[in-house]
Structures are given as structure tokens and as C-alpha cells.
Amino acid sequence: MQFRADIVIMPHRALLDPQGKAVTSSMSNIGLPEIENVRVGKHIQLDVTADSLEVAEAKVKEACDKLLANPIMEVYEFSLAELQTA
Amino acid sequence: MQFRADIVIMPHRALLDPQGKAVTSSMSNIGLPEIENVRVGKHIQLDVTADSLEVAEAKVKEACDKLLANPIMEVYEFSLAELQTA
């Protein structure tokens, strides 16, 4: 079975997010002072082949822990859905 | 009212995503050949103050079009939810 994972990786709440801070101040400059608290993270989409949802979940978790996310600076969450083959 | 927006910005389907390609090949190297078609985009979270959901939506769209997304190379979508004040 093939699954599609949508992974969101964001900087830890407690940590400074310099990119987000920079974007927040740019908002005033382009006439959007109503926008605040910008935080910039990553969105990763991938396909995983596995026998079950549980196995797919374990693979995606492994990919996040080993390669995609930095646990010191980032938190991640993901959702998984089975890909329908036409 | 305060709203929280979650914006997903991904490279266009039709375009090469070199970062995604690089991550896809790294997956085999760390023992996860089951993972393919990795695409890397951005996830942006922000708060917007507006009188209504419609106004907030227009502000977020403006921010995406003017600053956050590159329409030539990227597509974006977002969701908005009212922030509950305690």
C-alpha cells in the first residue's frame, strides 16, 4: 500500500525564530501591521510504501527523527493518508 | 478578533524540487528506500487581527501574494481559525 504523509516541522515555541521575526517586521512595511507572530517552518510531503498504516507511521517517524527534523530546535507532527490507485 | 492562519507553500507540481530530490536520495542512504517523492515546502503560522473572517482571509491572501509565496514557482493554501482569548 502507498501512503502520503504531510509533515509539519516548526521551530520550538520557546526558541527565537529569526526568520519569523524578520517576516513579521516586513509585514508593517508592506502595509499589513495586523499580521503578527509569524513563525516559519517546513512542510514536507512524501510517499511511503508499507504493508499497513502502523508500519508507514513508524517509517515516517524514523525519517523525521533521523533526517528531516532537528529535535533540539524543532517540533514536528504529521498526518498520513492512503493513496488511492486509479 | 484575532485569527491564527496556517499557510502551506509548496513548489509547483510541474517544477523540479531539487531539495526534495536530494532528500529522496538521502532516504535510501539511511535505510528508508520505501520513502519516495519527497517535496519540501514552507509552513508559515501567523496571527492576524481583523473584524471578520472575510477580512482576515483577504489580509492573509495579500501577505501571501506580496511577500510569502513566489507565484511563479510556488502554490499556497491556508486555513484560518479564530483565536480564543482566555
* Model confidence band, residue B86 (pLDDT cutoffs 50, 70, 90): low
Best residue of B8, B67, B74, B75 to probe chain A, by most A CBs closer than 10 Å: B67
Over residues A2-61, the pLDDT tens digits come to 999 999 999 998 888 999 999 999 999 999 999 999 999 999 999 999 999 999 999 999
Dihedral (Cα; A65, A71, A75, A81), 10-degree rounding: 0
User: Are residues A27 and B67 in contact, defined by beta-carbon separation less than 8 angstroms?
Assistant: yes
Q: Give me the architecture of the B2-82 domain, per CATH.
A: 2-Layer Sandwich (3.30)
pLDDT at B57: 97
Give the one of B27, B30, B43 whose C-beta lies nearest to A10's C-beta.
B43
pLDDT at B15: 83
pLDDT at A16: 86
Distance separating alpha carbons of residues A73 and B64, to the nearest angstrom: 25
Provide the residue ranges of all domains of chain A, joining segments of one domain with +. Answer: 2-82
Element (H, E) at A45: strand A35-49
Which chain B residues contact residue A19 at CB under 8 A? none
Say whether A41 and B41 touch across the interface (CB within 8 A): no
Over residues B5-30, the pLDDT tens digits come to 999 999 998 888 999 999 999 999 99
Query: Which residue is associated with the grid cell 514536528?
Result: A76
Distance separating alpha carbons of residues A73 and A14, to the nearest angstrom: 9
What are the Cα distances from residue B49, in Å, to A36, A60, B39, B43?
8, 36, 32, 20
pLDDT at A86: 59
